[in-house]
Amino acid sequence: MGLLQGMDVVARELALFAGVGLLIGGLDDLLVDLGYFALRAVGPRRRLTVADLPSAAPRRFALLIPAWGEEEVIGAMLAAALARLRGADYRIFVGCYPNDPATIAAVRAVREPRIELVIGPRPGPTTKADNLNALWRAIAAGGWRPDAIVLHDAEDVLHPDELVVFGALLAAHDVVQLPVLPIVARGSPLLSGHYADEFAESHTRSLVVRSAIGAALPLAGTGFAVDAGLLARVAATRGGDPFDAASLTEDYELGLHLAGQGARGCFARVFEQAGGPLVAVRAIFPCELGAAVRQKARWMTGIALAGWDRTGWARGRALGDHWMRLRDRRAPLAMLVLAAAYGAMLAWSVAGIGHWMTGAPAPRLSATLATMLLVNSALLVWRLAMRALFTGRAYGWREAIVSPVRFLVGNAVDLMAAPRALVAYLRLLRGHPPVWHKTAHQFPDLADA
């Protein structure tokens, strides 16, 4: 077999492998889309607003904010939270490490009795879950008893009505998750913007369908509230700590664990008013390529690889939950399929040049491969249209127009994150302790939020 024939074979085999994988993934996404539109067709036309929420007894909230190397943002974040939050009794507990004096000083500089600085017993970084456990122990040791625990990150912009929403919905639910809407940073419209597109699609479509079919609701790591009594019962089964300190994605695992215990979860899409913005958490996600790759690798390691080992599957007959967990864990295989697709495109290009230069006829596509390419192309167009639709609903038509370009940016970030995630997972299998590989954050101009 000559070199040119060998390149033809490589292109064909890669295309077949990628075609099958893309077809399965595309049909999987299409099924979620159809489920979403079916829910829209039978559901109420009027959007739920803050004014529509049922009245509820006053609640006390403990906001937990783990912080490691957050001296650049934590002061502004706390000041903004104090100025914006309304409608509830709350305290903010900030978890720091003894070897992080800059963050400690930044927290202490915000002089407010509702802010409590908690310095953990171990030097950092440990894991985010370990930091949260130190905060939980500090609350348990104090005399103030909250009714609910709210988790946030040090870079979050809190919505003024979030505690109002939590207070109303926790009357009928054990855990409530708000949508997360990343801010498209002015200096990084493509890299930071691809997070906006992904979360707009996930928190408008995917989590809505997931909740509707009764699957376990994974928590987003920020912007969720849990009944304090329920979390105390979880802690009692884990030696006093509610969060698993060995987990890289404690939020995701906690959501599945709570659902397994029969907790009533709620994904809350509540609007300020009719025609107004969504009550959601806003934050600037990584604007630098290396930081984005590290973050995506941590998510991939914690959810798709280590998370599979740690959380397993749902109850035997919970088919919807099995389906959603399978979707959660498809990322590594999806990256292999995507790499094969790009490899097939490259091989076809090289082979095409070779055929043009030598005058040798190029082999014809088989009917199977040609049909698969046509169907996958249609599914890709549909996927890009859906991404633009959900981005447009959350951010407006200007961002929707850019979303197809950012789709490619997201693919590139995910492809670079996959090998890093695999290496991190192999290190965990070899007994290396998990470490909080956080990214540098920035706090936005509140006019952009």
pLDDT along the chain (449 residues), means of 10: 80 93 96 94 84 88 96 95 90 97 96 94 92 95 92 96 95 95 93 96 92 88 94 92 87 87 91 91 93 92 82 77 90 93 91 85 88 96 97 95 97 95 90 78 73
**Can you give the pLDDT at residue 413?**
96
Residue 211: domain span = 50-318+439-448
Residue 233 in any domain: the answer is yes
Q: Same domain, yes or no, for 157 and 292?
A: yes
Q: Same domain, yes or no, for 177 and 32?
A: no
**Can you give the pLDDT at residue 136?**
96
Q: Same domain, yes or no, for 7 and 25?
A: yes
Give the angle 329-241-202 at the CA atoms, nearest 5°.
30
Q: Same domain, yes or no, for 276 and 407?
A: no
Q: Same domain, yes or no, for 65 and 213?
A: yes
Number of domains into which the chain is organized: 2
Q: Same domain, yes or no, for 272 and 314?
A: yes
Residue 44 in any domain: the answer is no
Output phi, psi for 381, to 5 deg. Answer: -60, -45
Q: Same domain, yes or no, for 293 and 273?
A: yes
Q: Same domain, yes or no, for 94 and 201?
A: yes
Q: Same domain, yes or no, for 125 and 88?
A: yes
**Can you give the pLDDT at residue 449?**
62
Q: Same domain, yes or no, for 309 and 394?
A: no
Output phi, psi for 414, to 5 deg. Answer: -65, -40
Distance CA 129, CA 134 (A): 9
Output the CA–CA distances (angstroms, integers) from residue 273 to 47, 162, 197, 324, in the order listed. 9, 13, 24, 32
Q: Same domain, yes or no, for 207 and 87?
A: yes
What CATH number is attached to the domain comprising 117?
A: 3.90.550.10
Q: Quick check: 60 and 174 in contact, CB under 8 A?
A: no
Q: Same domain, yes or no, for 172 and 253?
A: yes
Handedness of CA 71, 73, 79, 82 (dihedral sign): negative
